[in-house]
Amino acid sequence: MGGPVGGGAVGLDVRPATADDPAALDRALTGVAAVINCAGPFASTAAPVIEAALRAGIPYLDVAAEVEANADTFAHFDGPARAAGVAVVPAMAFYGGLGDLLATAAMGDWTGADEAHIAYGLNSWHPTEGTRAAGRVSRDRRNGQRVRYTKGRLEYVRSELPTLEWNFPAPLGARDVIGEFTMADVITVPSHLAIPEVCTYMTTEAARDVVGPDTPTPAAVDEQGRSAQTFLVDVRVRAGDVERRAVAQGQDIYAVTAPLVVEAVDRILTGRSKALGVASAGALFDAADFLRALAPRVLVEVG
């Protein structure tokens, strides 16, 4: 049932619906321009909400960081989305969306590359309950294995995660990182860029935080509700002996997701996107222009 949102907001309705109730989802999406799915784990919610969006004929976007859920979206919904004439955009978030935009901007006029490396320089990672729930789903689905993207495909292995040193630009500098700490970028980047090797890395302190059972949830430290967490994303693409780079810096990975997905919705609804069907951020938008629009929340340097 719809009802006005509290706090004096006018013209907004609350329309509760569960992902396993198609009729309720259809009612919830009646008369809306687009749907942003923020309700993970997306292994359970993405497919039914996408199906409802296609029935309504409206764009669908989500903020999924789950590798397999994003792969499923590309595998199962591209044809139906094209037939419905709408865009479906998975992983339009800090993981998956931002890395893809940075890699696309770094590529410039290249149509392909040999490798893409996306290193996440987080000073900490206090996970939300949603992050923990999504992590449990992914671990259960992999049955003790881990996933990486190599030779143009996802590969499941049981080897230990490697640790190495990554030379981030200032102010981070050299940091120990976990190699093959695989995030949604391994789905979004090669979905439209001809890059057979895509690897993501995470600073060791952040990796320890996110799996630690006693790590607290994020706590706000400023008037915008952001946590004290800082990030530096260092993206490098290599073709032969030539390397290109893009770097993004900011505060609070969760606080960056909302500007990313809202900017994407605005661009789709105002005719500033390039494609229909299932597509990643880098395929849909002018990557360099999109990244500029994120300032001052995210500061980006390409080249």
Helices and strands in the chain, H and E counts: 10, 13
Residue-level pLDDT at 118: 98
Rounded Cα gap, residues 137 and 65, in angstroms: 12
Q: Which residues pair with 169 in a beta bridge?
A: none
Assigned architecture for domain 98-255: 2-Layer Sandwich (3.30)
Q: Where are the domains of the chain?
A: 98-255
State the pTM of this model.
0.94
CB atoms within 10 A of CB 111: 8
Counting as low any pLDDT under 50, the low residues of the chain are 1-8
Q: What is the pLDDT of residues 110-136, one digit of tens each?
A: 989 999 999 999 999 999 999 999 999
Phi, psi torsion values for 129, nearest 5 degrees: -65, -35
**Cα Rg of the chain, angstroms:** 19
Rounded Cα gap, residues 175 and 203, in angstroms: 7
Q: What is the pLDDT of residues 37-83, one digit of tens each?
A: 999 899 999 999 999 999 999 999 999 999 999 999 999 999 999 99
Size of the chain in residues:
303
